[in-house]
Structure 1
């Protein structure tokens, strides 16, 4: 049986950003953060597909209170980290390339 509760939190959030003219889009599926059903269950891998400009790559979503984001392997094997603060301000860092972009995001 399925019940729809109005006012219940959404199970997925779409984050749309502008980082100094570069569009960034990804989705955080909250169900990926649910605890295991039993202790013997293996850890679940959390994945989101990030679209950054013309590029697309998989990353692990971050959901810590009101902070959203992702981290993972970006283009050419670089390590990337992206964090969105509750006010929508965001920072993208590519550790290998030494790149840092700041911008604004909207969470839907």
Structure 2
């Protein structure tokens, strides 16, 4: 990558792509015991930070995205395009690659 991102807000997904950040797993149990990083499993839950405008269908009309910024979603364990800005890690997925939308 030739340009170094200083802020993730400078990144706008195109077409049907979705920018997400994985939710960090709790490193402390309900009983108050702290777990080491090696024992904490990575979650498949992520928060949607930005979405593209949507892909075009065969008739030339824009298809609506299934998620919006602020939604919580389930993402596949592997896949997506990883992006690192400073110490933070993000991923870009296509809209159809997202597994589910989490309703709260």
**TM-score, L = length of structure 2:** 0.29
Greater relative CO, 1 or 2 (CA 8 Å, sep 6+): 2
Structure having the higher strand fraction is 1
